Amino acid sequence: MTTTSQTVRRRGAALVAASASLLLPLAAVSPAVAAPTAPPATHSPSPSASKSPSGSPSDNKGKPPKQPPAKMSEVGGELLGRPGVQVQPEAGAPALPKGLSGDAWLVADAESGEVLAAKNAHWRLAPASTLKMLFADTVLPKFPRTAQHKVAPSDLEGMGEGSSQVGLKEDSTYSVQDLWLGVFLRSGNDAVHVLSAMNGGVGQTVRDMQAHAEELQANDTHVVTPDGYDADGQVSSAYDLTLFARSGLQKKDFRDYCATATAQFPGEEKKGKKRESFGIQNTNRLLTGQGMPVYKGIAGVKNGSTTNAGNTFTGVAQHGSRKLLVTVMNPETKETGEVYKESAALLDWGFEAVGHVKPVGVLVPPLGASGGKDAGKSGGKAGDKAQASVADSGTGSGGGGLWTAVGITGGALAVLAGAAYVVHRRWPLRRPPQP
């Protein structure tokens, strides 16, 4: 049996050996796209929480309020606790994009943590599958890529009706790498549930995720399900989702998976028959170019869609030496791909605005980092006399040294970044609040 990990290694080794001298900056290369053989994933909410797209009965529990609170959390800065758009333009600053309809959004420097602009940054809203970033950041370091797991019927119990799935089969064996490709590319709730079972069960995984969110100072987040499926009380915020992405991007495996555009996935194991595989494609349209142009320099991270959440997206991209994070939650404009269009517009604005706006806040460090708790309260400007925090080798699930950002695409390995590229988290020193 040929596993996905073996296929990836063979393809990657062949291409990198042939073109090691042709590595290009992230901003210059976009992943090629192969037509998927699996149908597009959908992620429908629980019928007990909301009305599904198919029109099943609903009591509409878990729906977000229509207006943000007058005062929200001030983690990261006082301005981030205010409702509405927060931006502090200076000379030469571009105007914010027109037509932004997201209930909440945020654009930040991925390295310094400076928040360039935001709207309702701490509004607690349903997160949909963007919550899988927290799931991955929490669980991914626990199991090596090469570990094998045979799916038991109990592993798949408890999935919500209409859940997006990658297509795992009971009594078939998959590598951990296969499972994570299912999570990141197809937003597979079946893969989430199997990994949760490996982690001691859904309940244990939810507790682990909540504890990790608290360590990251993601205080707007309340975890009920590990996959982001709509549930009463399950909320996060544009600010917290951006924290999850920034933390996850410190891990090499996280970076690899979220930057993968397409891959081959193992089919069902059948006695006496050769195991087949099928193609899967990432549901992140800015990465694959499905229905819209690939965004220049994109390298992940995660999208989601449920009835309660609407469409959500967190992305990371690099232009030149600048790396930005963007999160958009629930655009009111219901055009196809609107969450990606608004995210791309905010990224474009952010790359142009750097150096021409005063930050409205900062992405805080984890509580265990130097100055973590104080930085969360101060809202001080990030980046001054910054402290680099990434110091490991960049290998394995916990590695943070290299952001290789590879996309596995149609039989080729598209190298999106050079061999020494990383988002360094530069924690802010304790400073007084900014006006």
Residues labelled as active-site residues: 129, 132, 187
Which DSSP state fits 148?
E
Packed helices 238-248 and 132-139: angle between N→C axes, nearest 10 degrees? 30
Collapsing DSSP to helix, strand or coil, 353 comes out as helix
Between the CA atoms of 127, 307, 170 and 210, what dihedral angle is there, to the nearest 10 degrees? 20
For 308, how many CA atoms within 13 A lie in the half-sphere containing its CB?
A: 29
Asked if residues 130 and 243 have their Cβ atoms less than 8 Å apart, the reply is: no
Which DSSP state fits 41?
P
Q: How many CB atoms lie within 10 A of CB 339?
A: 28
Asked if residues 288 and 298 have their Cβ atoms less than 8 Å apart, the reply is: no
Collapsing DSSP to helix, strand or coil, 264 comes out as strand
Show the tokens assigned to 45: 């909410």
Give the whole-angstrom CA distance, residue 124 versus residue 236.
5
Q: Omega of the bond prior to 301 within 30 degrees of 0, cis?
A: yes
What are the CA-CA distances from residue 121 to residues 85, 162, 388, 430 (Å)? 9, 30, 25, 21
